[in-house]
């Protein structure tokens, strides 16, 4: 626990058997209350490795997509009573040693969401991010900041911590089941006025680390720009979208120990 808050780490997994154990071994389990892995129809032994390590493991019988995986992760963490939920990729691209730092930003009430930024202090290129991915990251981030009116160093990190209240209140079920889910979540949080903080995070790119291929990355980029465009139109009262509807579909959490806070 941190500051009396129950901390959960969720790992959305797909073909992560080669990196899962090294990732899990670096989680500071003395301060983490819950670890959940959701396997999204892996074709390798990810599930076996997870269960051998004693990780609470949930299996999708078929691949639902990165966003669909996260929805399951957050739903189960909330049902286990988590106050702060941190997403950690099991591919060892993000260091588990920063879990406590990222979780603390939320657990101590400074922020509602915390992001581990690969771009602050130049960590992305130092960690081996391909140049074309870095250029794409910078272009999309510039466009999103301009369209949304924010000032984040990047929107595309997979290292994130959320308060329980945010995950219960945002209409996450309105979001895509694919990679653009991540950006939709941040756009929703900004739209509804939640506090978002960033911390510098090193990253590692290597053969076993998961990476979106070229064509899906193009579709992701277009989806990111579409989300920012929808945000801008809704903010100006020119259109309405379900992902920015306060009454939109929330995560179907079956057991909620505490009621969600209202939107800020």
Q: Which two tokens stand for residue 135?
A: 């250029």
Distance CA 8, CA 84 (A): 6
What pLDDT tens digit does each residue of the chain (264 aa) get? Answer: 999 999 999 999 999 999 999 999 999 999 999 999 999 999 999 999 999 999 999 999 999 999 999 999 999 999 999 999 999 999 999 999 999 999 999 999 999 999 999 887 666 666 667 677 778 888 999 999 999 999 999 999 999 999 999 999 999 999 999 999 999 999 999 999 999 999 999 887 656 555 666 788 889 999 999 999 999 999 999 999 999 999 999 999 986 555 455 566
Distance CA 108, CA 111 (A): 8
Distance CA 14, CA 85 (A): 20
- Topology of domain 7-244 in CATH is Spore Coat Polysaccharide Biosynthesis Protein SpsA; Chain A (3.90.550)
Cα atoms in the 13 Å half-sphere on the side-chain side of 232: 14
Q: How wide is the angle at C-alpha 128 spanned by C-alphas 147 and 66, nearest 5°?
A: 55
């Amino acid at each position: 626990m941190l500051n009396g808050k129950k901390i959960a780490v969720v790992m959305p997994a797909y073909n992560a058997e080669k990196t899962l154990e090294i990732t899990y071994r670096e989680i500071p389990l003395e301060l983490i209350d819950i670890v959940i892995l959701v396997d999204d129809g892996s074709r390798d032994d990810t599930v076996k490795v997870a269960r051998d390590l004693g990780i609470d493991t949930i299996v999708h019988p078929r691949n639902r997509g990165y966003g669909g995986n996260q929805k399951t992760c957050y739903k189960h963490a909330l049902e286990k009573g988590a106050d702060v939920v941190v997403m950690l990729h099991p591919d060892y691209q993000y260091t588990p040693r920063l879990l406590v730092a990222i979780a603390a930003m939320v657990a101590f009430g400074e922020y509602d969401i915390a992001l581990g930024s690969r771009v602050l202090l130049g960590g992305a290129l130092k960690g081996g991010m391909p140049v074309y991915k870095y250029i794409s990251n910078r272009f999309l981030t510039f466009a999103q900041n301009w369209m949304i009116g924010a000032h984040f160093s990047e929107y595309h990190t997979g290292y994130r911590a959320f308060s329980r209240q945010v995950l219960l209140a945002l209409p996450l079920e309105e979001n895509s089941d694919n990679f653009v889910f991540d950006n939709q979540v941040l756009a929703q949080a900004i739209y509804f006025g939640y506090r978002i903080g960033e911390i510098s995070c090193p990253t590692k790119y290597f053969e076993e680390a998961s990476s979106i291929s070229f064509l899906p990355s193009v579709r992701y980029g277009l989806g990111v720009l579409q989300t920012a465009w929808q945000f801008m139109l809704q903010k100006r009262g020119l259109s309405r979208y379900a992902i920015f509807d306060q009454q939109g579909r929330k995560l179907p959490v079956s057991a909620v120990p505490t009621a969600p806070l209202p939107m800020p």
